[in-house]
Structure 1
Amino acid sequence: MKFSVSMGRVVIIMIFLIFTTGKSQEIKVLDFYTKEPIVNVAVYNHDKSTTALSDLGGLCDISHFKANERITFKHLSYEVYRTTKAQLLKNGSNALMVLKHEQLDEVVMSISKWEQQKKDIPHKIVTVNARTVAFTNPQTSADLLQNSGKVFVQKSQLGGGSPMIRGFATNRLLLTVDGVRMNNAIFRGGNLQNVISIDPFTINKTEVIFGPGSVIYGSDALGGVMNFYTKRATFSETDSLSISGNSSLRYASANNEKTGHFDINLGKGKWAFLSSVSYNDFDDLKMGSHGPDEYLRNNYVVTNNGVDVLVANKDPRKQVITGYDQWNFMQKISHKPNNNWDLDMGLFYSETSDYSRYDRLIRPDSEGSGLRSSEWYYGPQRWFMGNVQLNKKGKGKFYDGLKLTTAYQYFEESRNDRSFQDPVLYSTKEMVNALSANVDFENKKIGDLRLYYGVSYVYNQVNSDGSQKDITTDISSDSPSRYPDGSTWQTAAAYLNGEYKAKPNFTLLSGLRYSHVWINADFDKTFYPFPFDDANLSTGALTGSLGFSWFPRANLQVTLNGSTGFRAPNIDDVGKVFDSEPGSVVVPNPDLEPEYAYNMELGIRKNYNDKLVFKGAAFYTYLVDALVRRDYLFNGESQIEYNGELSNVQAMQNAAKAYVYGFELGLEAFLTENISLVSNLTLTEGIEEEDDGSDTPARHVPPTFGDIHLVFKNRNLKTDLFFNYNGEISNGDLAISEQSKAYIYAKDSNGLPYSPSWYTLNLRTQYQLNRAVKLSCSIENITNQLYRSYSSGIAAPGTNLILAVEYGF
């Protein structure tokens, strides 16, 4: 009896050991940077006598391999990885694989809102993935776009970043977050800062479409679309709770940045939760030493007991006042009841402190001996979004995939300005409530034809008020609002997009969209005798695209695409009252129509034996009925008083045509297994044509810009030595509106404003200390150049040391 009991215990123990041993030898194959599972990785020993394959969760059984046997991991999209079984188990049973430099079969979502092979897309699309974001360590999402080397970014202040793509900017570019339109009814033609509300720590991937994207995204997508996809909550591969997360700390010397981030993911088999929080604290930005003296901050205004005094800046390279701080929060909840349905909910909140508009603080007064403004700052920029997305896979009667996306957004911003030695502080505050719903379908039933179609609806309500406060008496009173309070903007649309693979090497992509836009705004005549009571616009637009992707040879790709885009007037165009520049005031104009863009793009990509890849694109865009700011008569008057100053009257008008053309070139050279060379160059030209036949340089056309990167990378270390370059824009090539802002530009030999060329030399490195700890160190602008990017009101950082540490668990 004792023997049988003992034997029973032994059997139980042996079964337990076999079970636990087998379980411990099941490893997970993950992406080195994103930690996402990799499917269909071939795992084998040197003579391939023992093989295995990773499943949908990246899991792979290596129990049949010997402890010190050399194991190879191979996947088409990843670098070959070799290790031993013992080392794998020692490292936490994870095999981390590094993505190859260049992948033709990269999947993108921006063209149809569904996954498509990038090689089948005729549009130019640039992807910035999570591993690139982690390596470049951008302070804001505007810097993330700029670091790509393919998007030009303008900054009027440190708390800013306004992208320019192919000669278009601000409300002629579209922003989306997780498929939800971020552009609202008060996106303006002036520079925008909304992109900084998106936390770069939460971004999984950013896709930038170059050229019109109106077929899928509707109004505003004239020059391009920037799609930000944030990280999703991840499920556990078993029924037990899985816990993972990251924490990061970063410091930058140029603006004494102190940033902290933390996120945690809790995953079960059918439920997952991801929480994220980030905090940024920026001090005043310090510029470089070698460059135009016109950029120096020689003096600034100090207010004591209600009295403004102009004081000398002890350090003219310090840009007083530019510092601010920002909080970002994100909560994701995912539910997957079965293999066909999944539900994702996202909550986002971003808030800045007050931050100065630096370019307004350096404007000289009319005598040129002092400064015009004592204060000019934005109040807290707040953004909230709650979105719910329902996805269904599987065969339906009219679709193979269904995606329902609903969202609510709240935007808040304010402007506050006070002239030098004027006791009155003028303020306006805007709040936008935005509702949206999209239903998107994917259908793959008709042979080689894939159809994508859907409908969308967006509703915006704008609340706006104005006030003025005497800082000496602390007495406040009402003043004009920036926009008609309670005005609404809404749009409804339907689209159809088709992808037809005529041959294995030839894909045709085409689409149509009809959009209708309504505006309703009632004008308050308390402060201004408007010659109209309201603005009621109802307008529609039909847009389309047609293009192909062709591989005449396996190593050569040719793309051609034609597309149209439109932008309907919004509340900012129709109903705004504000000072656009010194001595000018913009007033409402209810008689506006949409502007339309017609675009052609030719692209080529040549691969030389996987050692050298050349990419090129040529584009031409023609804009008609362009909405531009021009002189205007208000009740027959060309001047009115605004905030105590007699100002020239202007208004938005369909008063111009424009054409933009250029070239975008890219080169990747894989010199050795570990060393590569990457370079980008963008050349753009643009002209605005007036109704009277005259023409002027377009405002949002950036100078020629480019970069060259020499990259070394092995499994644990990545180093990037790179050179950034911007060309000159002479005085004659400056837009008229830019020539009037001489105080933000350098002076040429004739004393006229111009934007000089500049360059920076930079070094960036990242080291994976172990599975959990990652260290980063960068030195930007090593030669301490003093420069200001075109149209920017703030000078760029001087030599900037950036240190960061990331811990993952």
Structure 2
Amino acid sequence: MKFLASVMIAKLIDLIFIFSYQKGKETAGAINEFDSFHRRLKLLFYGIFLLTTTMASAQKITILDADTKMPIVNVVVYNDDRSITALSDFDGKCDLSKFEKHERITFKHLSYETYRSTKSQTIKRASRIFMTLQAEHLDEVVMSVSKWEQQKKDIPQKVVFIGAQDISFTAPQTSADLLEHSGQVFVQKSQLGGGSPMIRGFATNRLVLSVDGIRMNNAIFRGGNIQNIIAVDPFAIDKTEIIFGPGSVIYGSDAMGGVMNFYTKKPMFSETDGLAVSGNGQYRFSSANTENTFHFDVNLGKRKWAFLTSASYNNFGDLKMGGHGPVSYLRNEYVSTTNGEDIVSANPNAKKQVPTGYNQINIMQKVSFKPNNNWSYDLGMHYSETSDYSRYDRLIRPGKDDDKFRSAEWYYGPQKWFLGNLQIDKKGKGKFYDGLKITTAYQHFEESRHDRAFQDSDLFSTKEKVDAISSNIDFENKKIGNLRLYYGGEYIFNKVGSTGSVLNIESNALTNAASRYPDGSTWQTLAGYLHGEYKAKPNFTMLSGLRYSHVWIDADFDKTFYPFPFDDANLSTGALTGSVGFSWFPKADLQVTLNGSTGFRAPNIDDVGKIFDSEPGSVVVPNPDLVAEYAYNMELGIQKNFSDKVVFKAASFYTYLVDALVRRDFLFNGNSQIEYKGELSDVQAIQNAAKAYVYGFEFGLEAFFSDNLSMSSNLTLTEGIEEEEDGTDSPARHVAPTFGNLHIKWKNQRLKTDLFLNYNGEISFSNLATSEKSKDYMYAIDADGNPYSPSWYTLNVRTQYSVSNALKVNVGLENFTDQRYRSYSSGIVAPGANLIIGVGYNF
């Protein structure tokens, strides 16, 4: 437009010159005089025009979202007496030429926190303003419930949203810590390199973990604690949504207790024809394990193409526990190997948990192509790899007879994960849909286990690989009045590779041994679903859905090492699941939700084909005679808003589990004991041997005292019982103790501070699960000499200061009273006083 205007005015000068030339063409001198005057006039015009346009453009700024870097439309800009106002356009641009150079101006938007600055300061900052989304606007839209955008207020289930702003502020060490920081998910850790979430009495393979809508659950996800969640880079996450309760209608098998969906950052397109370059670099240090973390990501954007590259490197040392707590948690001694001989060495620092350190690398590459407003193509690639890392809870187990320790070595080999996925999105009016998503993905998993008994020369190893392919097609239909339909289908195929070996560390002789799973076994599922949202009234919304899933298992057993009484396991399991619920606003400030749903979990390769030592003196053997387990759930929720100053939330739930897959005593070829790794061990197997019920209450409170000061709190109470076939019952293993938090937050334009308390209740010996009572080496000892999990609390503070729009500094001090505590069912003791420093720079 500027160029066109300059050309038009130049042409006007030419016309004036021609007219003047016609008037004065009588003499050659007059012609030369007019020609010289014409050139000088055009040069003067161009100079003035360029100067004024440059000054005008220099006073234009761009207003962007601080997290997504996308332009913000309709930001109102005004001075103190509101005598001058301006408005940002579709590209987030706003003209400040009306304002005085040092005049204080305000940037205001309904969904964003108010920003204040002077005109001169704004222009000095590269003419860009970054505004932060208000907390109450972060969770208006969720995607995990239907795979399409839905208003959170219409969802009858409890959904917790963790946005980019919260992730940046809490600066979690791993994705497991990200969930734990929410205060509404309990996380168990067997070692530093891990984190196993528990939601409403369910854990591990009864929860679904997904990345960008793609299931990470594979055929060997086990009932014991898992650590796959650490493969997801917290620095690459844009937002996280956690569904509480069964999610089988959308996610199929395993979604019995909840779904955790991590949505990673997307490439950003350019708003102009030029190349847009942006990115950020971050560093994080924590004193409790001398962590050094480095991260960077770079985005290159054109109008139709965008590329995002992200990489992180973590180095964690041995973790130090706190100074005040049970003496039995101290690591006074550990096993070291010198010249091939295992000896028990004194630990010079009993608070240091030796060995627990490891390192990890995460890489993400994304490419997006958007040829027009209706079609988009997104290619994503994720890779994660750890070093070897010790399983700490196995290294502190006492040995037999006079041995202080059972194992000299027990460690996981590198955990590797690769995900490649392509998603095609189409918007617009189709015959049967308004939105279409086609997602295909390939994943590769690698893990291994290595253990050697104290003063034994044989190192036993098993190595597993899983190749998983999946394909999903999802439709959205918004054309049927007040009814929105979501429907689609899914196919998943897993192939498991598993090998075993024994290495003699003295002779270096390597021999074959039994594998953990049947090598070459497969697991696959085919499913279709229909989900509907009906807005009966503006204040009343109903959601309902059905899904049919079919699961096949094909496994052949190798009888070389064990005389299995069967040759194979061929299971074919069908399951119909459903849900129905409503969200009702009897008043504008009161919401009531009610939801009923079913979930299921079909047996996987880990259930039917595993052989391993579950605990000292016990071995788990395969059992091909299994059927799916089912969960039936009811949930009632209420939310009350008191004058936008206080928000109270509460939910109650009850889940009944039938044909529960649990580990119990078993007979192998009529024997209750067999020899495993040279030791006579009790035989166990996964069986449909129990029913269970879990119930509980969840409370939340938010209070806003002023624009700067607020408070929030969460409390979760859960109880669970497993009922055996013989009529006896025992506490459920994955029911977390009562836990909660309390946060007091203060913030202004540049500074955020959070003083908070985390709390866990006690689990007495009588309330410990049967499988936990035998692990007395992990627990404190009560007055009667029995193991139990004590209550604990930590006091913590974190702060974030924006030095500029580009530079942010995070400083935190966790557990500053230096408590020594071990979370329920965890092998590793939690960090003591922990100083955390983080620096982030955006460009």
Shorter-chain TM-score: which interval?
A: over 0.9
Q: Which amino acid in structure 2 is aligned with residue 112 of structure 1?
A: S
C-alpha distance 64-454 of structure 1, shift in aligned 2 (>3 A): farther
Report the equivalent of 2:205. 171
* Structure 1 residue 543 corresponds to structure 2 residue 577: yes
* Structure 1 residue 653 corresponds to structure 2 residue 696: no
* Structure 1 residue 750 corresponds to structure 2 residue 784: yes
Q: Which amino acid in structure 2 is aligned with residue 7 of structure 1?
A: L
Report the equivalent of 1:643. 677
CA-CA distance at 1:305 after TM superposition: 1.9
CA contact (8 A) 2:138 2:163 kept: no
Report the equivalent of 1:424. 458
* Structure 1 residue 100 corresponds to structure 2 residue 134: yes
Bigger Rg, which one: 2
CA contact (8 A) 1:289 1:798 kept: yes
Q: How far apart are the structure 2 equivalents of 1:169 and 1:379?
A: 23
Q: Which amino acid in structure 2 is aligned with residue 371 of structure 1?
A: F
Report the equivalent of 1:667. 701
Q: 2:833 aligns with which of 782, 795, 799?
A: 799
CA contact (8 A) 2:139 2:161 kept: no
Q: Which amino acid in structure 1 is aligned with residue 198 of structure 2?
A: M
Report the equivalent of 2:41. 7
Q: How far apart are the structure 2 equivalents of 1:182 and 1:368?
A: 43
C-alpha distance 630-236 of structure 1, shift in aligned 2 (>3 A): same
Q: 1:616 aligns with which of 650, 654, 664?
A: 650
C-alpha distance 447-689 of structure 1, shift in aligned 2 (>3 A): same
C-alpha distance 690-682 of structure 1, shift in aligned 2 (>3 A): same
CA contact (8 A) 1:34 1:131 kept: no
Report the equivalent of 1:184. 218
C-alpha distance 53-401 of structure 1, shift in aligned 2 (>3 A): farther
Q: How far apart are the structure 2 equivalents of 1:352 and 1:327?
A: 7
Report the equivalent of 2:480. 446
Q: 2:425 aligns with which of 391, 399, 403?
A: 391
SS at match of 2:352: coil
Q: How far apart are the structure 1 equivalents of 2:139 and 2:319?
A: 42
- Map 1:669-748; keep pairs closer than 5 Å: 669-748=703-782
- Map 1:369-388; keep pairs closer than 5 Å: 369-388=403-422
* Structure 1 residue 267 corresponds to structure 2 residue 298: no
CA-CA distance at 1:735 after TM superposition: 0.1
SS at match of 1:102: helix
Q: How far apart are the structure 2 equivalents of 1:134 and 1:534?
A: 50
Q: 1:519 aligns with which of 522, 544, 553?
A: 553
CA-CA distance at 1:65 after TM superposition: 4.8
Report the equivalent of 1:604. 638
CA contact (8 A) 2:377 2:423 kept: yes
- Map 1:8-87; keep pairs closer than 5 Å: 8-44=42-78, 51-87=85-121
Q: Which amino acid in structure 1 is aligned with residue 387 of structure 2?
A: S
Q: Deviations over 1:528-564 (max 9, x none)?
A: 1111111111111111111111111111111111111
Report the equivalent of 1:766. 800
C-alpha distance 44-327 of structure 1, shift in aligned 2 (>3 A): same
CA-CA distance at 1:691 after TM superposition: 1.1
Report the equivalent of 1:473. 507
CA-CA distance at 1:36 after TM superposition: 3.4
Percent identity over paired residues: 70
CA contact (8 A) 1:104 1:119 kept: no
Report the equivalent of 1:331. 365
Report the equivalent of 2:290. 256
Q: How far apart are the structure 2 equivalents of 1:753 and 1:354?
A: 31
Q: How far apart are the structure 1 equivalents of 2:620 and 2:57?
A: 70
Report the equivalent of 1:790. 824
CA contact (8 A) 2:115 2:749 kept: no
Report the equivalent of 2:241. 207
SS at match of 2:353: coil
Q: 1:553 aligns with which of 581, 587, 594?
A: 587
CA-CA distance at 1:71 after TM superposition: 3.9
- Map 1:112-151; keep pairs closer than 5 Å: 112-151=146-185
* TM-score, normalised by the number of residues in structure 2: 0.94
CA contact (8 A) 1:324 1:354 kept: yes
Q: How far apart are the structure 2 equivalents of 1:167 and 1:278?
A: 33
CA-CA distance at 1:67 after TM superposition: 4.2
Q: How far apart are the structure 1 equivalents of 2:763 and 2:749?
A: 42
Q: Deviations over 1:298-322 (max 9, x none)?
A: 1111111221111111111110000
Q: Report runs of 4+ in structure 1 exceeding 6 Å deviation.
A: none
Report the equivalent of 2:667. 633
SS at match of 1:547: strand
Q: Which amino acid in structure 2 is aligned with residue 285 of structure 1?
A: L
Q: Which amino acid in structure 2 is aligned with residue 253 of structure 1?
A: S
Report the equivalent of 2:352. 318
Report the equivalent of 2:6. none
* Structure 1 residue 486 corresponds to structure 2 residue 546: no
Greater mean deviation of Cα atoms: 355-364 or 550-559: 550-559
Report the equivalent of 2:9. none
SS at match of 1:227: strand
Superposed CA RMSD? 1.4
CA contact (8 A) 2:298 2:309 kept: yes
Q: Which amino acid in structure 2 is aligned with residue 719 of structure 1?
A: T
Report the equivalent of 1:593. 627
SS at match of 2:191: coil
CA-CA distance at 1:251 after TM superposition: 1.0
SS at match of 2:235: helix
What is the count of residue pairs matched by the alignment?
Answer: 809
Report the equivalent of 1:365. 399
Q: Deviations over 1:191-238 (max 9, x none)?
A: 000000000000000000000000110010000000000000101111
C-alpha distance 703-105 of structure 1, shift in aligned 2 (>3 A): closer
Q: Which amino acid in structure 1 is aligned with residue 691 of structure 2?
A: K
CA-CA distance at 1:62 after TM superposition: 4.2
Q: How far apart are the structure 1 equivalents of 2:548 and 2:73?
A: 39
Q: Which amino acid in structure 2 is aligned with residue 458 of structure 1?
A: I
Q: Which runs of 5+ in 1 are unaligned?
A: none
CA contact (8 A) 2:129 2:805 kept: no
Q: 1:407 aligns with which of 436, 441, 454?
A: 441
CA-CA distance at 1:92 after TM superposition: 1.9
SS at match of 1:524: coil
SS at match of 1:703: coil
Report the equivalent of 2:533. 499
CA contact (8 A) 2:591 2:640 kept: yes
* TM-score, normalised by the number of residues in structure 1: 0.98
CA-CA distance at 1:488 after TM superposition: 0.4
Q: How far apart are the structure 2 equivalents of 1:808 and 1:372?
A: 50
